[in-house]
Amino acid sequence: MVELLAMSGQRAIQPRRISPFEMSERQSRLDEDLICLELGNRWGLRCERFAAPKREGRKTPDFKVLKDGELIAYLEVKTSHDSMKFAERADGLCVSTTPNNPIFSRLANDIYRADEQFTSVNPDTLLPNILAFVNHDEKAGAIDLRAVVTGSVPLEGGGSLPAWHHISEGRIRDAKKRIHLYIWCDHHPQVDAIKEHHEGFDIVIPRPASRNVRVLTRWNQMSDPDVMAQLCRAFGVNPVSINS
């Protein structure tokens, strides 16, 4: 993509090419803002980004989550856009290509990395950790997250089918227990997403009130019950009503 900059008199400033990294950063910011708006609109929570100096030299989650000015949780937002691959064509334009990372592997990596980020600020897990996914991949769905976390896929007629058990009880076995709430947000054309096209890059524009955003929550009953109780109080949810 080429960004046309301001003109000074009759002399045009040379156009600046925006890199794939910049485009990905822009999408990530939009996705983070979307989750923060959802938390505010649905549950009256406020997200406060970690200040840059505190993030130097260590990985931290994206946000502190506050209610009535009190810190009640930490939030990390993962976007599937981060895993998109880009290639440069002969004419110099960068275009997005299909990611070759399997969905289950991508989700497992996100959970593992998020746990490291949460641990850096919440080592004893005294406060709840919230992991939100903003999904732009039409081939992925919340059922994939369930399979990775639980090691099974629910069947329409009841019961479940084992799936990715080597992941759920392998690499992320301990990490997943330290994440108390998963938020899955579909944001792609199949749910009426609005896209802004820039010569090979698609940027999805959040509109939280429209049907292009579909948000699902998954409460993790494998987590510490006391911390889960804290989270339920903050969200105004009866612990008896949540599903694992």
The separation between the first and the last C-alpha atoms of the chain, rounded to the nearest angstrom, is 44
pLDDT of residue 143: 82
pLDDT of residue 219: 80
pTM to 2 decimals?
0.76
pLDDT of residue 92: 46
Among 60, 36, 56, smallest CA distance to 48 is for: 36
pLDDT of residue 215: 67
Please report, in tens digits, the pLDDT of each residue of the chain (244 residues total): 333 333 344 455 554 555 656 767 787 888 899 899 989 988 999 999 987 644 456 689 999 999 999 999 999 999 876 554 544 445 444 444 444 557 888 899 999 999 999 999 999 999 999 999 988 777 778 888 888 888 887 776 667 788 888 888 998 999 999 999 998 888 755 444 444 444 444 444 444 444 445 667 778 777 788 888 888 888 888 877 775 4
Listed in sequence order, the residues at least 6 apart from 79 whose beta carbon sits closer than 8 Å to its beta carbon are 27, 28, 31, 133, 134, 136
Question: Rg of the chain over CA atoms, in angstroms?
Answer: 20
